Amino acid sequence: DADVTQTPRNRITKTGKRIMLECSQTKGHDRMYWYRQDPGLGLRLIYYSFDVKDINKGEISDGYSVSRQAQAKFSLSLESAIPNQTALYFCATSDSRQLSYEQYFGPGTRLTVT
């Protein structure tokens, strides 16, 4: 079984709709991250969480919100989706006890906003 899972894997939605992307992990890591990938821009950080009560904005948080329901679950919401939020979204986890803070990525969610 995958250590970091994301649901859904693909989603098409319409402008103005609310959508939630979910991430779960079985690695026991304390830190979780949401990134979006756009062609030519690499991955950019949306939000990150050090633990359930510690959530921080990344470089492109406008239009997004998150919820850390438990140590193993971190959800990303688009309150009112717009076409320029069409992208590939990744969840990642890391363990603050590891010196390298190596991040482990989920399989990604392809989101299309029409």
Partner 1 sequence: AQTVTQSQPEMSVQEAETVTLSCTYDTSESDYYLFWYKQPPSRQMILVIRQEAYKQQNATENRFSVNFQKAAKSFSLKISDSQLGDAAMYFCAYRLTLTGKLIFGQGTTLQVKP
Binding residues for partner 1, rule: CB under 8 A, are 31, 33, 35, 40-45, 48, 56, 58, 88, 90, 92, 94, 96, 100-103, 105, 107-108, 110
**Under 8 Å between Cβ of 33 and 45:** yes
Distance CA 90, CA 4 (A): 10
Q: Pick the closer one to partner 1 by CB: 85 or 103.
A: 103
**Token pair belonging to 79:** 């309150």
Q: Pick the closer one to partner 1 by CB: 11 or 110.
A: 110
Does the N-terminal peptide bond of residue 8 adopt cis geometry, omega within 30 degrees of 0?
Answer: yes
Give the shortest CB-30-to-partner 1 separation in angstroms: 10
